[in-house]
Structure 1
Amino acid sequence: MSLVLQMRRERAELNDQLQALAKIEADGGSLTAEQMTQFGQLESQITALTDKISRAEIAERAAAASAVPVDESARGITGPPESRVEGPYGQPAKGAKMAQMVRLLAAAQGNQQAAAQMAKDGGFGTDVQMALSVVTPGAGGVLVPTNFSSEVIEALRPASVVRRMGTKSLPLNNGNLTQPRITGNTVVTYIGSDDDIALTGMTFADTKLAAKKAAALVPVSNDLLRMAGVNPRVDQLVADDVTVSMGLSQDLHFIRSDGGSGLLPKGMRYWALPQNLRPAPTATGITLEQIDLFLGGMMLRVETANVDMKQCGWLMPPRVIRWLQSLRDGNGNKAYPEIEIGKLKGYPFGLSNQIPTNLGADGDETEIYFVNFADMMIGEDMDLVIDLSKEASYKDGSGNIVSAFQRDQTLIRVIAKHDFGPRHVESIVVATGVDWGAGM
């Protein structure tokens, strides 16, 4: 029996004695002088034991956090992969199992049966072995099991600013989801004793989400894949690359895609009502009062729309928040000191380079978004499909064609299906033509 458990049992026995004495008075009796002394002693003993238990629990947690296998020198990096792929506090990193699938398929040149055998021989988890044994590769790639893809989708939350700000994720049933939204609230009125109650009611419309196919290309160094038996963090690196690439792609479309031809999700910029697209005052000659009034006006648009304000926040490119951070009042004090703790005018902000900064006639404008993210929805099809190629080419961030074969890389393609939409379009306000910070 552990020391903590032993002390807890002892404390429970003392507490039973204490409760028995307390019951005497609760039943209308009174304690003798001897019983009063015993009551005080029991109380002191219970307090002392509670303090000891607290210290022992801290010691146990510290010992558990620093514990290593007794045969670590023998196992180390050659132990089963699931024992090495760690996230915060030693827990398995989200998406690592899918990364193991990717790595094994890459090592097996895409041969699913060979990859399954490698998983078995290499001591990988039974879930990874089973996933590779039962899936059937097709023209689109290998279907990732739902339990693995769920981990990846959860891992996207810190990688995607739209998800991180509180957007809800909902499952798509057969690729579709229809969510009713209230367009007019019930009106409650006061009436006289002889008056008829007026008919009133809510009015509704629908937000319809339909699965859109998104593909992310993730180049991974073959040197990195070859180091799988040497570097205990390879799977986590692959998982991070996949989730970052998917997160950036989703932010790009969830924020500003026009939903062209129905093939793309429609982003917040194009869901916003025309009256909620607010031209920003130009930076030249602008006063702090004008800036504050403009930002407050954006907030007011949402506040007067009768929506729940519990998850509101700002989205903007980094240059805008740095410009606002540099503003000073007439006494030299920071105009918005709360930026240091991640807030602007009382609401959190998220930064994204997926909001372009080259808009407008002069190519120096951008946008600011104020959104109630509690009203935003992402419909998720839980199926992820992965495919690999060592010969394919891709475009880098500068638009240059890169050969995966020439660079000794494996190109991973991840295909996901999802859609984006708001429950209330009134919850999105966009500042357009923002040239703030253009010269930074």
Structure 2
Amino acid sequence: MPEPKGKTEVMEITEEKLEGMMKDSAQKALEAVIPELKNELKNELKEKIQIETDEVKKEESIQEVKDFLIALEKGDKSFLEKFEAKAVDSTSSSFGYTIPTELASRILEEKDKIPKMRKNAFVFQHAGPFQLPKEGTGVTSYWVGENTLITASEPTIDKEDLADYYLATRVLMPRQLLRTSAYNVTEFIARLCSRSLIGTEETAFTAGDGSSKPLGLRQTVGITDVPQVGTDLAYDDLINLIYSIAEQYRDNCIFILSTAAIKLLMKLKDNNGLPIFDPSNKRLMGYPYFESVDIPSNLGVGTDETEIHFFDPFYYWIKDSENMFMEVDKIISYLQTELVIAEATDGAYILPEAAAKLSAVK
């Protein structure tokens, strides 16, 4: 009788054969992943070594800060030779030293947490006086007929001068603190200095009169003044403020305003009695806003008015002239060491037409 078509031949597999096949398959799979595993292990080891190296370097840097402070206190000139000397007073023998990188970095790190003007402004490095050319009187075009004299334009160039103004902060450090851990010394000085420098800088960049300090935004001549229309602040006042600035400057604008102005804005309601603005998103009319203690809220006849500033912060230029340096003096009678940390900077708003202010706000 013929065998049925399509019959499949069954191959007998012994336990020994099956074991051999599994070994071969496992060996091939292992050979495929071994290079990848080696690379992963190598990368992990590299990362671990790098982290450990960075930690050692950081500890060494922090220890260097402590050694630097102790050397300053003791007047150890041999140790201080590796730090560049900076004359603090050219009429005397008073000298300071550039601050170790770790301490300067910690102060700058703390400073960056709070500021509004510096964080949003255009900041650049330049030693010595700096003259920024800017357009004065522009060129005007006219429609003219035949045989008509074309009115001549006489363009002029103005300039904005930025100088080197020294900003200094003074820290009284207990002698005992020098005997504590290097990390604590660095933290102590960084926090005290950053608080002082932030407050002083922000006040100058916002409201400085330009006399031995930066010229602040509020003191800039030529900024558009938009008075509040009614007795009370209204939504329409913000519309008037925003559109008082030319279109090309509005995209990057921000608001800077006092606490009093923020409270007034957050109390504005629509026709249904609902708040117009949401305080959680930190934006007004789509633009970021920043609260500033340097915008007064006691202006006007009744000392109950404030201002709202709307401007493109790119045009506030900050020139940092000299990196931080330090001088030390002993106050033996109080068992303290006095540290003076200073840097040179200046700032000014260079394009008044890119800024406007809502005044008489209440």
TM-score in terms of structure 2 length: 0.69
The structure having more radius of gyration, on CA atoms, is 2
Report matched runs for 1:79-158 at 5 Å. Answer: 82-84=57-59, 101=65, 103-108=66-71, 110-113=73-76, 116=79, 130-131=82-83, 134-135=84-85, 139-144=93-98, 151=105, 155=109, 156-158=111-113
Paired position in structure 2 for 1:205? 158
The answer to which of 373-382 and 354-363 deviates more is 354-363
Distance 1:340 1:202 in 2: 47
Report matched runs for 1:413-428 at 5 Å. Answer: 413-428=340-355
Helix, strand or coil at the partner of 2:180: helix
Distance 1:375 1:315 in 2: 14
Paired position in structure 2 for 1:347? 287
Asked if structure 1 preserves the Cα contact closer than 8 Å seen for 2:73 and 2:330, the reply is: no
Distance 2:226 2:307 in 1: 10
Distance 1:187 1:420 in 2: 31
Distance 2:317 2:292 in 1: 19
Helix, strand or coil at the partner of 1:302: coil
Letter in 1 for 2:124: L
Cα RMSD after superposing both structures: 4.5
Closer, same or farther: CA 67–151 of 1 in aligned 2, 3 Å: closer
Q: CA deviation at 1:147?
A: 7.0
Q: CA deviation at 1:432?
A: 3.5
Q: Relative to total residues, which structure has the larger helix share, 1 or 2?
A: 1
Q: CA deviation at 1:84?
A: 3.8
Report matched runs for 1:377-392 at 5 Å. Answer: 377-389=317-329, 391=331
Deviations, residues 55-98 of structure 1 (Å, cap 9, x unaligned)? x98xx78x95899749xxxxxxxx85x4249xxxxxxxxxx87x
Deviations, residues 358-390 of structure 1 (Å, cap 9, x unaligned)? 444554443322121111111221243322345
1:329 aligns with 2:270: yes
Paired position in structure 1 for 2:242? 299
Helix, strand or coil at the partner of 1:384: strand
Report matched runs for 1:301-316 at 5 Å. Answer: 301-303=244-246, 307-316=248-257
Deviations, residues 169-195 of structure 1 (Å, cap 9, x unaligned)? 23334x211111124555678999xx9
Q: CA deviation at 1:314?
A: 1.2
TM-score in terms of structure 1 length: 0.58
Distance 2:265 2:78 in 1: 52
Closer, same or farther: CA 206–411 of 1 in aligned 2, 3 Å: same
Distance 2:132 2:103 in 1: 24
Distance 1:217 1:414 in 2: 6
Distance 1:170 1:68 in 2: 32
Of the three residues 202, 205, 208, the one matched with 1:257 is: 208
Closer, same or farther: CA 197–278 of 1 in aligned 2, 3 Å: closer
Distance 1:314 1:423 in 2: 18
Of the three residues 152, 171, 183, the one matched with 2:125 is: 171
Asked if structure 2 preserves the Cα contact closer than 8 Å seen for 1:104 and 1:115, the reply is: no
Letter in 2 for 1:181: K
Q: CA deviation at 1:106?
A: 3.9
Distance 1:382 1:422 in 2: 21
Distance 2:78 2:271 in 1: 67
Unaligned runs of 5+ in 1: 1-48, 71-78, 86-95, 118-128, 393-404, 436-440
Query: Percent identity at matched positions?
Result: 18
Asked if structure 1 preserves the Cα contact closer than 8 Å seen for 2:98 and 2:323, the reply is: yes
Asked if structure 2 preserves the Cα contact closer than 8 Å seen for 1:377 and 1:423, the reply is: yes
Report matched runs for 1:17-56 at 5 Å. Answer: none
Q: CA deviation at 1:159?
A: 3.9
Asked if structure 1 preserves the Cα contact closer than 8 Å seen for 2:108 and 2:194, the reply is: no
